A and B are shown apart, each in its own frame.
Chain A
Amino acid sequence: GENVEQHPSTLSVQEGDSAVIKCTYSDSASNYFPWYKQELGKRPQLIIDIRSNVGEKKDQRIAVTLNKTAKHFSLHITETQPEDSAVYFCAAIYNNNDMRFGAGTRLTVKP
């Protein structure tokens, strides 16, 4: 089955710095890669996603890059703010509807 590995498990940055979270996946047939943000005690919420026919996608301060050959994708957050502090999950679709998640990265943005 699909295996999604996510690094680092924790990340602490100074406000205004950039943050990068990386994920690798095992199933070469995966074609959809979403990123979710989860604040403490809240539900996961989609922040950005990328499909396998695109190498990079940006939405304001966040971007995702995808390298299908190497089977890895990354989340980039620029000009981080304290409200970016949360747990971030990457995921990959396996077998059409089975979504496999990484274990999560706890991002702390220090003011």
Chain B
Amino acid sequence: DAGITQSPRYKITETGRQVTLMCHQTWSHSYMFWYRQDLGHGLRLIYYSAAADITDKGEVPDGYVVSRSKTENFPLTLESATRSQTSVYFCASSDQGTKETQYFGPGTRLLVL
């Protein structure tokens, strides 16, 4: 589990500000994912990436932007944060050969005021 890290772990921001959440993995996994976790909704997929420079939308992509210039990094940007984006954000990664088995990072708790 130490192979996937997220930063910051906690973030408070204001409505309208841009926020970037970082995710870094050291396993050289091809696939990376961003989820948000809200009470009553479980985990919902925001975006995922199959490899560097390849990204796809998940279930709830609106208001988020991702990039994957390097295999090990998958930043998530909220271009103009809204209160509804207050959540816990989890990054995950999986190996090409077992792409369905995902390993989660420790999470970032984001509060938008």
Q: Which of A's residues lie within 8 Å of B, judged by CB?
A: 1, 6, 32, 34, 42-46, 49, 89, 91, 93, 97-104
Interface of A is mostly: strand
Q: Which of B's residues lie within 8 Å of A, judged by CB?
A: 1, 31, 33, 40-45, 48, 50, 56, 58-59, 90, 99-107
A-B residue pair count with CB separations less than 8 angstroms: 52
Contact with A97, one of B1, B41, B99, B103 (Cβ below 8 angstroms): B99
Bound-state Cα–Cα, A42 to B37, Å: 12
CB-based contact A43/B101 at 8 Å: no
Closest B residue by C-beta to A99: B45
Bound-state Cα–Cα, A102 to B40, Å: 9
Residues of A within 8 A of B31 (CB): 97
Residues of A within 8 A of B107 (CB): 43
Bound-state Cα–Cα, A99 to B103, Å: 13
Closest A residue by C-beta to B58: A98
Residues of B within 8 A of A99 (CB): 33, 43, 45, 100, 102
CB-based contact A49/B100 at 8 Å: yes
Answer whether A89 and B100 are a contact pair too, CB < 8 Å, given A97-B56, A100-B59: no
Contact with B106, one of A1, A43, A89, A104 (Cβ below 8 angstroms): A43
